[in-house]
Amino acid sequence: MLKFIHIVLLSFSMTQVIAQDSVLNRVIFIGDAGEINFKQETIIPLAADLILKGRTTVMFLGDNIYPRGMGLPGDQEEVETAEILRSQYEPMRAKGAPVYFIPGNHDWDRSGKDGLAKIRAQGDYLAQQNDSLLRLIPANGCPDPIEIPISDQMVIIAYDSEWWLFPYKKDNPNHECACNSEVEVLAKLKNILDKNQDKMVLVASHHPMQSFGIHGGHYSLKDHLFPLTLINKSLYLPLPVIGSLYPLLRSTAFSNAEDMRHPTYKRLKQSIGKVFEGHPNYIYVAGHDHGLQFIKNRDQYQIVSGSGAKSSAIKNNKKLLYKNAKQGFVAVDMMLDRSTRITYYRYDNHGIKEDFVYCIPLRK
Protein backbone atom coordinates (compact mmCIF):
# COMPACT_ATOMS: atom_id res chain seq x y z
CA MET A 1 0.00 0.00 0.00
CA LEU A 2 2.82 2.41 0.91
CA LYS A 3 4.54 1.58 -2.37
CA PHE A 4 1.32 2.39 -4.27
CA ILE A 5 0.96 5.75 -2.48
CA HIS A 6 4.60 6.56 -3.27
CA ILE A 7 4.01 5.81 -6.98
CA VAL A 8 0.88 8.00 -7.03
CA LEU A 9 2.70 10.91 -5.36
CA LEU A 10 5.67 10.54 -7.71
CA SER A 11 3.34 10.49 -10.71
CA PHE A 12 1.56 13.66 -9.48
CA SER A 13 4.90 15.38 -8.90
CA MET A 14 6.09 14.50 -12.41
CA THR A 15 2.81 15.79 -13.89
CA GLN A 16 3.30 19.11 -12.08
CA VAL A 17 6.88 19.43 -13.37
CA ILE A 18 5.82 18.69 -16.95
CA ALA A 19 3.00 21.25 -16.69
CA GLN A 20 5.41 23.90 -15.39
CA ASP A 21 7.95 23.09 -18.10
CA SER A 22 5.32 23.88 -20.74
CA VAL A 23 5.10 27.46 -19.39
CA LEU A 24 7.53 29.84 -21.04
CA ASN A 25 6.57 32.84 -18.90
CA ARG A 26 4.03 33.69 -16.21
CA VAL A 27 2.49 36.96 -15.07
CA ILE A 28 0.54 37.05 -11.79
CA PHE A 29 -2.03 39.85 -11.58
CA ILE A 30 -3.47 40.89 -8.21
CA GLY A 31 -5.67 43.94 -7.88
CA ASP A 32 -7.04 45.98 -4.97
CA ALA A 33 -4.83 44.23 -2.38
CA GLY A 34 -4.18 47.34 -0.28
CA GLU A 35 -5.75 46.24 3.01
CA ILE A 36 -4.19 43.71 5.36
CA ASN A 37 -6.78 41.15 6.42
CA PHE A 38 -6.83 37.40 6.93
CA LYS A 39 -7.66 36.48 3.34
CA GLN A 40 -5.19 39.01 1.88
CA GLU A 41 -2.46 37.58 4.14
CA THR A 42 -3.44 34.09 2.97
CA ILE A 43 -3.64 34.48 -0.79
CA ILE A 44 -0.56 36.65 -1.41
CA PRO A 45 2.02 34.17 -0.01
CA LEU A 46 0.20 31.34 -1.81
CA ALA A 47 0.32 33.34 -5.04
CA ALA A 48 4.06 33.69 -4.43
CA ASP A 49 4.31 29.89 -4.32
CA LEU A 50 3.23 29.85 -7.99
CA ILE A 51 6.30 31.84 -9.05
CA LEU A 52 8.46 29.96 -11.54
CA LYS A 53 12.07 30.96 -11.01
CA GLY A 54 13.29 33.30 -13.72
CA ARG A 55 10.00 33.10 -15.61
CA THR A 56 7.49 35.07 -13.51
CA THR A 57 6.51 38.72 -13.21
CA VAL A 58 4.06 40.03 -10.59
CA MET A 59 1.84 43.06 -11.11
CA PHE A 60 -0.44 44.71 -8.55
CA LEU A 61 -3.26 46.44 -10.39
CA GLY A 62 -3.85 49.51 -8.23
CA ASP A 63 -5.58 50.43 -4.99
CA ASN A 64 -2.37 49.24 -3.43
CA ILE A 65 -3.09 51.17 -0.21
CA TYR A 66 -6.54 51.68 1.30
CA PRO A 67 -8.23 53.93 2.11
CA ARG A 68 -6.39 57.02 0.82
CA GLY A 69 -2.98 55.96 -0.43
CA MET A 70 0.51 56.42 1.01
CA GLY A 71 0.93 58.48 4.14
CA LEU A 72 2.86 61.66 3.39
CA PRO A 73 6.24 62.24 5.08
CA GLY A 74 5.67 63.06 8.73
CA ASP A 75 2.06 61.82 8.81
CA GLN A 76 1.16 59.14 11.35
CA GLU A 77 -0.15 56.97 8.49
CA GLU A 78 3.28 56.80 6.86
CA VAL A 79 4.48 53.70 8.76
CA GLU A 80 1.16 51.87 8.52
CA THR A 81 0.82 52.43 4.78
CA ALA A 82 4.38 51.27 4.18
CA GLU A 83 3.51 48.03 5.96
CA ILE A 84 0.53 47.55 3.63
CA LEU A 85 2.84 47.80 0.60
CA ARG A 86 5.39 45.44 2.15
CA SER A 87 2.69 42.82 2.77
CA GLN A 88 2.25 42.64 -0.98
CA TYR A 89 5.74 42.78 -2.43
CA GLU A 90 7.90 41.02 0.16
CA PRO A 91 6.60 37.45 -0.47
CA MET A 92 7.05 37.98 -4.22
CA ARG A 93 10.52 39.49 -4.03
CA ALA A 94 11.58 36.70 -1.65
CA LYS A 95 10.90 34.29 -4.53
CA GLY A 96 12.88 36.46 -6.96
CA ALA A 97 10.02 37.78 -9.13
CA PRO A 98 10.03 41.40 -10.38
CA VAL A 99 7.13 43.31 -8.80
CA TYR A 100 5.31 46.25 -10.38
CA PHE A 101 2.58 48.40 -8.85
CA ILE A 102 0.09 50.35 -10.99
CA PRO A 103 -1.65 53.37 -9.41
CA GLY A 104 -5.35 53.19 -8.57
CA ASN A 105 -7.84 55.83 -7.47
CA HIS A 106 -7.31 55.08 -3.76
CA ASP A 107 -3.56 55.51 -4.27
CA TRP A 108 -4.37 58.98 -5.62
CA ASP A 109 -5.88 59.94 -2.23
CA ARG A 110 -9.17 58.29 -3.24
CA SER A 111 -9.27 60.84 -6.07
CA GLY A 112 -8.76 63.57 -3.45
CA LYS A 113 -6.88 66.84 -3.48
CA ASP A 114 -3.63 65.27 -2.17
CA GLY A 115 -3.63 62.65 -4.92
CA LEU A 116 -0.56 63.82 -6.79
CA ALA A 117 1.49 64.11 -3.58
CA LYS A 118 0.40 60.68 -2.40
CA ILE A 119 1.13 58.85 -5.64
CA ARG A 120 4.59 60.45 -5.67
CA ALA A 121 5.08 59.33 -2.06
CA GLN A 122 4.22 55.73 -2.97
CA GLY A 123 6.72 55.75 -5.81
CA ASP A 124 9.37 57.38 -3.61
CA TYR A 125 8.94 54.73 -0.92
CA LEU A 126 9.39 51.90 -3.41
CA ALA A 127 12.42 53.62 -4.96
CA GLN A 128 13.96 53.97 -1.48
CA GLN A 129 14.12 50.17 -1.21
CA ASN A 130 17.02 50.33 -3.72
CA ASP A 131 15.61 47.36 -5.61
CA SER A 132 15.57 47.67 -9.39
CA LEU A 133 12.96 44.90 -9.61
CA LEU A 134 10.46 46.76 -7.42
CA ARG A 135 8.75 49.76 -9.04
CA LEU A 136 5.64 51.90 -9.29
CA ILE A 137 4.75 52.33 -12.97
CA PRO A 138 4.39 54.97 -14.14
CA ALA A 139 6.05 56.93 -11.32
CA ASN A 140 5.89 60.54 -10.10
CA GLY A 141 2.27 61.05 -11.12
CA CYS A 142 3.25 60.90 -14.79
CA PRO A 143 0.77 59.31 -17.21
CA ASP A 144 3.50 57.73 -19.36
CA PRO A 145 2.64 54.26 -20.75
CA ILE A 146 5.33 51.76 -19.76
CA GLU A 147 6.48 48.80 -21.86
CA ILE A 148 7.48 45.69 -19.91
CA PRO A 149 8.93 42.96 -22.16
CA ILE A 150 8.05 39.52 -20.80
CA SER A 151 9.50 37.45 -23.64
CA ASP A 152 9.82 37.38 -27.42
CA GLN A 153 6.14 36.38 -27.46
CA MET A 154 4.55 38.56 -24.75
CA VAL A 155 4.64 42.17 -23.54
CA ILE A 156 2.80 44.22 -20.91
CA ILE A 157 1.77 47.79 -21.68
CA ALA A 158 0.85 49.50 -18.40
CA TYR A 159 -0.55 52.99 -17.94
CA ASP A 160 -2.11 55.08 -15.15
CA SER A 161 -5.84 55.22 -15.86
CA GLU A 162 -6.53 57.28 -12.71
CA TRP A 163 -4.48 60.13 -14.21
CA TRP A 164 -7.24 60.42 -16.83
CA LEU A 165 -10.05 60.53 -14.25
CA PHE A 166 -8.40 62.56 -11.48
CA PRO A 167 -10.52 65.68 -10.84
CA TYR A 168 -7.85 67.97 -9.33
CA LYS A 169 -4.77 69.68 -10.68
CA LYS A 170 -2.19 67.18 -11.94
CA ASP A 171 0.36 69.45 -13.63
CA ASN A 172 3.80 68.06 -12.85
CA PRO A 173 6.39 70.80 -13.45
CA ASN A 174 8.95 69.32 -11.03
CA HIS A 175 9.13 65.97 -12.80
CA GLU A 176 10.02 65.26 -16.40
CA CYS A 177 7.21 63.19 -17.87
CA ALA A 178 7.45 61.71 -21.35
CA CYS A 179 3.75 62.55 -21.83
CA ASN A 180 1.90 65.62 -20.63
CA SER A 181 -1.46 65.27 -22.34
CA GLU A 182 -4.00 62.64 -23.33
CA VAL A 183 -2.97 63.00 -26.96
CA GLU A 184 0.66 62.24 -26.09
CA VAL A 185 -0.36 59.24 -23.96
CA LEU A 186 -2.37 57.78 -26.83
CA ALA A 187 0.46 58.37 -29.29
CA LYS A 188 2.92 56.57 -27.03
CA LEU A 189 0.52 53.66 -26.51
CA LYS A 190 0.23 53.34 -30.29
CA ASN A 191 4.00 53.49 -30.69
CA ILE A 192 4.57 50.69 -28.16
CA LEU A 193 1.81 48.59 -29.75
CA ASP A 194 3.31 49.02 -33.23
CA LYS A 195 6.65 47.72 -31.91
CA ASN A 196 4.96 44.57 -30.61
CA GLN A 197 2.64 43.59 -33.45
CA ASP A 198 3.62 39.91 -33.37
CA LYS A 199 3.23 39.42 -29.61
CA MET A 200 0.46 38.78 -27.13
CA VAL A 201 -0.12 42.20 -25.55
CA LEU A 202 -1.40 42.48 -21.97
CA VAL A 203 -2.85 46.00 -21.52
CA ALA A 204 -2.74 46.68 -17.78
CA SER A 205 -4.40 49.50 -15.86
CA HIS A 206 -6.47 49.91 -12.72
CA HIS A 207 -9.75 50.68 -14.49
CA PRO A 208 -11.33 48.00 -16.71
CA MET A 209 -12.87 48.58 -20.11
CA GLN A 210 -15.75 46.23 -19.19
CA SER A 211 -17.10 45.04 -15.85
CA PHE A 212 -20.30 43.66 -14.38
CA GLY A 213 -19.60 44.81 -10.83
CA ILE A 214 -20.63 47.98 -9.03
CA HIS A 215 -18.36 50.31 -11.04
CA GLY A 216 -20.00 48.91 -14.16
CA GLY A 217 -23.40 49.95 -12.79
CA HIS A 218 -24.48 46.47 -11.68
CA TYR A 219 -25.85 46.01 -8.16
CA SER A 220 -26.90 42.89 -6.28
CA LEU A 221 -30.12 42.36 -4.32
CA LYS A 222 -28.07 42.80 -1.12
CA ASP A 223 -26.91 46.23 -2.37
CA HIS A 224 -30.55 47.28 -2.84
CA LEU A 225 -31.68 45.97 0.56
CA PHE A 226 -28.60 46.89 2.62
CA PRO A 227 -26.98 49.85 0.78
CA LEU A 228 -24.79 50.85 3.74
CA THR A 229 -22.74 47.65 3.28
CA LEU A 230 -21.24 49.37 0.22
CA ILE A 231 -19.63 51.78 2.70
CA ASN A 232 -19.00 49.33 5.55
CA LYS A 233 -19.55 45.60 5.03
CA SER A 234 -20.83 45.20 8.61
CA LEU A 235 -23.62 47.84 8.33
CA TYR A 236 -26.58 45.50 7.72
CA LEU A 237 -29.30 48.12 8.22
CA PRO A 238 -32.25 47.31 5.92
CA LEU A 239 -33.13 50.31 3.75
CA PRO A 240 -34.92 48.77 0.75
CA VAL A 241 -36.38 51.96 -0.77
CA ILE A 242 -33.29 54.12 -0.23
CA GLY A 243 -31.17 51.20 -1.37
CA SER A 244 -32.97 51.07 -4.69
CA LEU A 245 -32.56 54.82 -5.15
CA TYR A 246 -28.81 54.68 -4.53
CA PRO A 247 -27.81 53.07 -7.88
CA LEU A 248 -29.99 55.55 -9.77
CA LEU A 249 -28.55 58.58 -7.96
CA ARG A 250 -25.02 57.29 -8.36
CA SER A 251 -25.43 57.17 -12.13
CA THR A 252 -27.21 60.55 -12.40
CA ALA A 253 -27.19 63.37 -9.83
CA PHE A 254 -24.23 61.97 -7.87
CA SER A 255 -22.30 60.43 -10.74
CA ASN A 256 -18.66 59.63 -10.10
CA ALA A 257 -15.80 59.52 -12.62
CA GLU A 258 -14.77 56.18 -11.09
CA ASP A 259 -17.93 54.60 -12.55
CA MET A 260 -18.17 53.49 -16.18
CA ARG A 261 -21.31 55.48 -16.93
CA HIS A 262 -19.60 58.79 -16.19
CA PRO A 263 -18.66 60.82 -19.31
CA THR A 264 -14.98 61.05 -18.31
CA TYR A 265 -14.72 57.29 -17.86
CA LYS A 266 -16.52 56.77 -21.18
CA ARG A 267 -13.98 59.02 -22.90
CA LEU A 268 -11.14 57.00 -21.36
CA LYS A 269 -12.64 53.74 -22.65
CA GLN A 270 -13.25 55.09 -26.15
CA SER A 271 -9.79 56.65 -26.44
CA ILE A 272 -7.90 53.57 -25.25
CA GLY A 273 -10.13 51.24 -27.24
CA LYS A 274 -9.35 53.01 -30.51
CA VAL A 275 -5.61 52.51 -30.01
CA PHE A 276 -5.91 48.72 -29.76
CA GLU A 277 -8.76 48.29 -32.24
CA GLY A 278 -7.75 45.84 -34.94
CA HIS A 279 -4.79 44.34 -33.09
CA PRO A 280 -5.39 40.56 -33.18
CA ASN A 281 -3.77 39.56 -29.87
CA TYR A 282 -4.37 41.64 -26.78
CA ILE A 283 -6.08 41.22 -23.41
CA TYR A 284 -7.16 44.01 -21.10
CA VAL A 285 -6.20 43.36 -17.47
CA ALA A 286 -7.51 45.52 -14.62
CA GLY A 287 -8.85 45.59 -11.07
CA HIS A 288 -11.14 48.30 -9.58
CA ASP A 289 -14.27 46.15 -9.21
CA HIS A 290 -13.76 43.80 -6.27
CA GLY A 291 -14.14 40.39 -7.78
CA LEU A 292 -12.88 37.99 -10.42
CA GLN A 293 -14.29 38.27 -13.93
CA PHE A 294 -13.37 36.92 -17.34
CA ILE A 295 -15.27 38.67 -20.10
CA LYS A 296 -15.42 37.90 -23.81
CA ASN A 297 -17.05 40.49 -26.04
CA ARG A 298 -16.78 39.23 -29.62
CA ASP A 299 -13.03 38.57 -29.96
CA GLN A 300 -11.99 40.91 -27.15
CA TYR A 301 -11.02 39.59 -23.72
CA GLN A 302 -11.07 41.41 -20.37
CA ILE A 303 -9.59 40.10 -17.13
CA VAL A 304 -10.83 41.75 -13.95
CA SER A 305 -8.70 40.75 -10.97
CA GLY A 306 -9.74 43.17 -8.26
CA SER A 307 -10.14 41.02 -5.17
CA GLY A 308 -6.74 40.88 -3.49
CA ALA A 309 -8.21 42.25 -0.26
CA LYS A 310 -11.91 42.86 -0.92
CA SER A 311 -14.87 41.23 -2.63
CA SER A 312 -18.27 42.32 -3.91
CA ALA A 313 -21.12 40.99 -6.03
CA ILE A 314 -20.98 40.52 -9.81
CA LYS A 315 -24.11 40.36 -11.93
CA ASN A 316 -24.67 37.60 -14.46
CA ASN A 317 -24.15 38.44 -18.12
CA LYS A 318 -23.80 36.38 -21.28
CA LYS A 319 -20.40 37.99 -21.90
CA LEU A 320 -19.06 36.60 -18.63
CA LEU A 321 -17.23 33.32 -19.15
CA TYR A 322 -16.35 33.27 -15.46
CA LYS A 323 -17.17 35.25 -12.34
CA ASN A 324 -16.54 34.87 -8.64
CA ALA A 325 -17.05 37.34 -5.82
CA LYS A 326 -14.44 35.71 -3.57
CA GLN A 327 -10.96 37.08 -3.06
CA GLY A 328 -8.32 35.80 -5.45
CA PHE A 329 -6.02 36.55 -8.37
CA VAL A 330 -5.14 35.57 -11.94
CA ALA A 331 -2.09 33.98 -13.57
CA VAL A 332 -1.45 34.48 -17.29
CA ASP A 333 0.95 32.00 -18.90
CA MET A 334 2.64 32.07 -22.28
CA MET A 335 2.84 28.42 -23.33
CA LEU A 336 5.31 26.57 -25.53
CA ASP A 337 2.80 26.50 -28.41
CA ARG A 338 2.45 30.33 -28.10
CA SER A 339 -1.07 30.04 -26.74
CA THR A 340 -1.99 32.09 -23.67
CA ARG A 341 -3.38 30.23 -20.66
CA ILE A 342 -5.40 32.20 -18.12
CA THR A 343 -5.94 30.66 -14.67
CA TYR A 344 -8.17 32.10 -11.94
CA TYR A 345 -7.41 31.27 -8.31
CA ARG A 346 -9.82 32.02 -5.48
CA TYR A 347 -9.65 31.85 -1.71
CA ASP A 348 -10.90 28.52 -0.42
CA ASN A 349 -10.85 27.15 3.14
CA HIS A 350 -7.69 28.93 4.33
CA GLY A 351 -5.98 28.28 1.01
CA ILE A 352 -6.46 28.88 -2.71
CA LYS A 353 -8.24 26.88 -5.36
CA GLU A 354 -7.66 26.79 -9.10
CA ASP A 355 -11.17 27.67 -10.21
CA PHE A 356 -11.16 28.39 -13.96
CA VAL A 357 -8.76 27.90 -16.88
CA TYR A 358 -9.06 29.32 -20.39
CA CYS A 359 -6.62 29.07 -23.31
CA ILE A 360 -6.38 31.58 -26.17
CA PRO A 361 -4.49 30.52 -29.30
CA LEU A 362 -2.28 33.11 -30.99
CA ARG A 363 -4.12 34.68 -33.91
CA LYS A 364 -2.29 35.66 -37.09
- Percentage of the chain surpassing pLDDT 70? 84
- Mean per-residue pLDDT, 34-63: 97
Residue 235: the pLDDT is 57
- Mean per-residue pLDDT, 270-281: 94
Pick the residue with more confidence: 220 or 266?
Answer: 266
pLDDT at 183 over 70: yes
Residue 242: the pLDDT is 55
Residue 19: the pLDDT is 59
Band the pLDDT of 14: cuts 50, 70, 90. Answer: very low
φ, ψ dihedrals at 346, nearest 5°: -125, 155
Pick the residue with more confidence: 35 or 20?
Answer: 35
For residues 25 and 145, give the distance between their C-alpha atoms in angstroms, rounded to a whole number: 22
| Cβ neighbours around 360 below 10 Å, total | 16
Cis-peptide, bond into residue 98, ω within 30° of zero: no
Cβ partners under 8 Å of residue 117, min gap 6:
72, 109
Band the pLDDT of 252: cuts 50, 70, 90. Answer: low
- Mean per-residue pLDDT, 278-300: 95
pLDDT at 213 over 80: yes
Pick the residue with more confidence: 196 or 249?
Answer: 196
The rounded mean pLDDT for the chain is 88
Residue 274: the pLDDT is 96
Which CATH number is associated with domain 25-183+195-207+282-360? 3.60.21.10
- Percentage of the chain surpassing pLDDT 90? 77
For residues 93 and 134, the answer to whether their CB atoms sit within 8 Å is yes
Pick the residue with more confidence: 254 or 320?
Answer: 320
Amino acid at 280: P
134-170 per-position pLDDT tens digit: 999 999 999 999 999 999 999 999 999 999 999 998 8
pLDDT at 42 over 70: yes
224-236 per-position pLDDT tens digit: 445 555 555 665 5
314-351 per-position pLDDT tens digit: 999 999 999 999 999 999 999 999 999 999 999 999 99
Cβ partners under 8 Å of residue 42, min gap 6:
347, 350, 351, 352
Residue 21: the pLDDT is 78
Residue 246: the pLDDT is 52
φ, ψ dihedrals at 310, nearest 5°: -135, 165
For residues 26 and 333, the answer to whether their CB atoms sit within 8 Å is yes
